[in-house]
Amino acid sequence: MFLGLIFVAGLSALALYGAHFPVLAQHHISPLLVGVLLGFGFSFVYPKIATTTQAGVHFSAKKLLRLGIILYGFNVTLHDILHYGYMPLIIALIVVVGVFLLGVYVGRKMGLELDLAMLVACGSAVCGAAAVLALESVLKSAPHKGVVAVGSVIVFGLLSMFLYPLLYQLGLIPLSPLHEGIYIGATLHEVANVVGAASAISPETEKVAITLKMVRVIMLIPLLLGVLFYLKRATPSTQKTPLQIPYFAFAFLGVVVSHSLLPKLGGFVDAQTLTQGVRVLQELSVVCLVCAMVALGLQVNLKQFLELGGKAFSLALILWGVLLVGGFGLVKLLL
């Protein structure tokens, strides 16, 4: 266990350090992306040392992943979510449900296995790599499928991060800064993508975009439960196993509620101390998720990755087009 954790921690430290290089930082390249690429790069070494490192790698891919997702709740408050009214929430709900169901349907028609189609669809619909990792933990999919799904949503998330501000500056997206923020928050894949795209337009756009993105993050909880109940019903009665509830998802929601109530502690704890404490927990969430991404990358089978990659990227491309065009249509129609 210990050697595996040291191995993962070393690569994760490199990923976190590398993500702060100016050329990466100025383009808002997520440390999660750097982490999975580093893990993938060392995947040829891992089989040779698996006997001494496997326990630590598996611990990172499962336990640290769930801890990271739970702590991710410190990025969200209920006040932020309700601040802009109910219509942006409806848009976010339509995007999450519609893109996920469409992705699963199209993925199956393309010949993808159900779990891989779900992973790509979930990453596109909810919150990129973090959503893929959360669903992968529930589905217990093979590691290479998680990496394929993560890679596909990261590519199109990065493209969107540069394309949205460009189209807006060229006048090809006729929306106000507020509505542009709703559009970005409802359709971009990663939180880092949202920050990168929205900050290039205006502070108002950035604030509403991040808020709506967090709404989509919270919608991961009912989506995970829905997938679990669907799989339970779809499994033949002779093969059914007890329903495994993703308790980490409820812990995530508990953290969101706790974070929302923190200002009420102002009379007991210094506000600056609270802010610093939350910031530390936010950073710890990133560290845990980077460790999980590194561990996932280490377990990739290159042959299986190449076999599945083409169809998964094609599905992600289709869903990207739906987000780009359909999201704009929703904003124009409902706002």
Query: How far is 284 from 263, CA to CA, in rounded Å?
Result: 21
162 contact partners, CB below 8 Å, separation of at least 6: 196, 197
Query: How far is 6 from 60, CA to CA, in rounded Å?
Result: 11
C-beta atoms surrounding 315 within 10 Å: 26
CA distances from 191 to 143, 162, 209, 229, 247 (A): 23, 14, 9, 28, 23
pLDDT at 244: 59
Residue pair 189/162 in contact by the 8 Å Cβ criterion: no
pLDDT one-digit tens code per residue, 164-223: 999 998 999 999 999 999 999 999 998 878 888 998 899 889 889 988 988 898 899 899
Rounded average pLDDT per 10-residue block, the chain, 335 residues: 94 94 81 87 90 93 88 86 89 97 97 95 91 88 87 86 91 94 95 85 89 89 90 67 68 90 77 90 94 87 74 95 97 94
pLDDT at 54: 93
Residue pair 210/90 in contact by the 8 Å Cβ criterion: no
Residue 201 is part of which domain span?
2-334
pLDDT at 193: 84
Domain count, the chain: 1
23 contact partners, CB below 8 Å, separation of at least 6: none
Q: Whose CA is closest to 130, among 258, 216, 6, 58? A: 216
The predicted model scores a pTM of 0.82
CA dihedral 176, 29, 31, 224 (to 10 degrees): 40
Q: How many CA atoms lie within 13 A of 333 on its CB side?
A: 9
Q: Hey, what are 265's tokens?
A: 């502690």
pLDDT at 113: 93
pLDDT at 137: 84
CB burial string 70-86: b at 16+ within 10 A, e below? bbbbbbbbeebbeebee
Residue pair 42/11 in contact by the 8 Å Cβ criterion: yes
Query: How far is 329 from 322, CA to CA, in rounded Å?
Result: 10
- Residue entry with tokens 């430290």: 13
pLDDT at 316: 94
Which ranges of the chain would DSSP assign to H, the alpha helix?
2-18, 22-25, 31-41, 46-59, 65-71, 78-82, 87-109, 114-125, 129-139, 143-169, 177-187, 191-199, 203-218, 220-234, 247-261, 271-298, 302-334
